[in-house]
Amino acid sequence: ETGVTQSPTHLIKTRGQQVTLRCSSQSGHNTVSWYQQALGQGPQFIFQYYREEENGRGNFPPRFSGLQFPNYSSELNVNALELDDSALYLCASSFGPLVTKTGELFFGEGSRLTVL
Amino acid sequence: KNQVEQSPQSLIILEGKNCTLQCNYTVSPFSNLRWYKQDTGRGPVSLTIMTFSENTKSNGRYTATLDADTKQSSLHITASQLSDSASYICVVSAARLTGGGNKLTFGTGTQLKVEL
């Protein structure tokens, strides 16, 4: 167990809808990163939150947005869902943004999103 | 462009046998390299983290090697067990002197299946 929890574990949406995914970071961790993992692919970086502010973003459109709360938990919001958004969404927590350090990055079990 | 390539894409071995997975990267400037194990539908779990100065690191039956000159890493699994069946993902971190964000580049993974 990594201490990183995600909810919901599975959900099904239709095109055009909006979804909110949630992540509770490991105790003592102040940084949360979100990844999208399509079937058979490696995780793709969406964005990172460090001390409640966005601290870097991957190549994802603005309809992917997020929040980090004072307790360092985080949300990923996706608007106007498209079929290609179907994927496993992984949340990872760390102490610090892992710029050059070798700190551990702990992943949650993911939220499996299916868009019909 | 930072890239991480893994080979083979998939591998089937008999229980008790050894195997070696490969990772080649073009990430620059290099900071550290991580190997993760990801069971189907689960979040990745860290196996090893290596910096530029480390050539070998072990974690039980898993031994990772790093050649920073040739930008290659390998993960050797000894005396494989059925529970080793999973995807093994190589992740390379680029150092950033300014700005923020998570500069981890993920490979697409090697799918290992251990059979009786």
Beta-carbon separation of B95 and A45 below 8 A = no
Contacts of B106 in chain A (CB under 8 A): 35, 42-44
Instruction: Please tell me the predicted confidence (pLDDT) of residue A99.
Output: 60
Q: What is the mean pLDDT of chain A?
A: 92
Nearest-CA distance B72 → chain A (Å): 18
For residue A100, give the nearest of B45, B96, B99 by CB distance: B96
- Asked whether residue B21 carries a pLDDT value surpassing 90, the answer given is yes
Nearest-CA distance A17 → chain B (Å): 24
pLDDT band at B29 (very low <50, low <70, confident <90, very high): confident
Instruction: Please tell me the predicted confidence (pLDDT) of residue A1.
Output: 67
Beta-carbon separation of A48 and B100 below 8 A = yes
Beta-carbon separation of A102 and B49 below 8 A = yes
pLDDT, tens digit (0-9, with 9 covering 90-100), for A22-70: 999 988 899 999 999 998 889 999 999 998 999 888 899 999 999 999 9
Instruction: Please tell me the predicted confidence (pLDDT) of residue B28.
Output: 83
For residue B101, give the nearest of A44, A48, A108 by CB distance: A48
Cβ count near B34 (within 10 Å):
22
**Hey, which residues does B73 pair with through a beta bridge?**
B23, B66
Burial B10-27 (b: 16+ CB within 10 A, else e): ebebeeeeebebebbbeb
* Dist. CA B73–CA A2, nearest whole Å: 25
Beta-carbon separation of A57 and B101 below 8 A = yes
* Dist. CA B98–CA A78, nearest whole Å: 29
pLDDT, tens digit (0-9, with 9 covering 90-100), for B48-97: 999 888 999 999 999 999 999 999 999 999 999 999 999 999 999 887 65
Beta-carbon separation of A44 and B51 below 8 A = no
* Dist. CA A91–CA A25, nearest whole Å: 8
Bridge-based pairing state of the strands A10-13 and A111-115: parallel
pLDDT band at A104 (very low <50, low <70, confident <90, very high): confident
Q: Which of B102, B105, B110, B111 to mutate to test the interface with A (most CBs of A within 10 A)?
A: B102
Higher pLDDT, A3 or B115: B115
Asked if A21 and B67 touch (Cβ cutoff 8 Å), the reply is no
Nearest-CA distance B4 → chain A (Å): 10
